[in-house]
Amino acid sequence: MTEKPVVGRENTDTLLDTRFIKVYDLRYAPGRHYYDASRREKEELVALKSDTEFRTMAPDAATCILILRSEREGDRLFLQYEYRYPAGRLLLSPPAGLIDREDAGKEDAVILTAKREIQEETGIKVRDTDRVFEINPLVFSSPGLTDECNALVCAVVSSDGEGELSQEGAEGSEYFDGYVLLSEEDARRILREGRDDRGNFYSVYTWAALIYFVSGMWRE
């Protein structure tokens, strides 16, 4: 069995340090390099955490699986078309956002982030009578390239209709171009096809939202 690679602070170098992204050289053996793109400062890198720190770490962001319930329209999954710069395309996506620094230490930081992002990106204000709960405390986006990680949150919201929906809350680099409200049949079709209704591929977070919606687990 090959010896386990070891990454420590003494063999981790910063290659790029900007406000929004950093790149680190993880020298896991003499002459061996692995590059890590991260939002984190060096002292917060996941690769440098102990097993205990790793198992109790907080996510960088929250991805929201937003389900709208209406007596007239039935249960529908909200997904939006958001411009994703690395893909250079509008991709079908769930609402999501980074956890604010001032919320990071709070016990309910993930839920606060989910509620804020839903209101900013959809115009919907989550009420006390709506259900908002954590599905998964932390999943990695792409551990072969980055240590970025998101919590998965489900919000089951009573909705009176599309009149309350708005994408006017875009901030910074965010750009939206419409949304879809999917029935379970619609969601299954998109899962089977592997493409949205515009013919484009989508992210694994969108896949997770579709799967969770059609599984019915959110009703439990």
Confidence of residue 2 (pLDDT cuts 50, 70, 90): low
Contact 150, 64 (CB under 8 A): no
C-alpha to C-alpha distance for 164 and 131, rounded to whole angstroms: 18
Is the per-residue pLDDT at 160 higher than 80?
A: no
> In the predicted model, is pLDDT for residue 8 greater than 90?
no
4, pLDDT greater than 90: no
Q: Is the pLDDT of residue 162 over 90?
A: no
Residue 155 confidence (pLDDT) above 90: yes
Give the least confident one: 45-54, 57-66, 170-179.
170-179
Q: How confident is the model at residue 40 (pLDDT cuts 50, 70, 90)?
A: very high
Range with the poorest average pLDDT among 95-104, 180-189, 198-207: 95-104
pLDDT at 161 exceeding the cut of 80: no
Burial class (CB in 10 A: 0-12, 13-18, 19+), 212: buried
Mean pLDDT value across residues 96-122: 93
pTM of the model: 0.92
- Distance, in Å, from the CA atom of 106 to the CA atom of 100, rounded to the nearest integer, reads 10
> Residue 81 in contact with residue 92, Cβ under 8 Å?
yes
Is pLDDT of 60 > 80?
A: yes
Give mean pLDDT, residues 143-154.
Answer: 96
Q: State the Cα–Cα distance between residues 185 and 197, nearest whole angstrom.
A: 13
Q: Cα 83 vs. chain centroid, distance in angstroms?
A: 15
What band does 169 get if pLDDT is binned at 50, 70 and 90?
confident
pLDDT at 164: 77
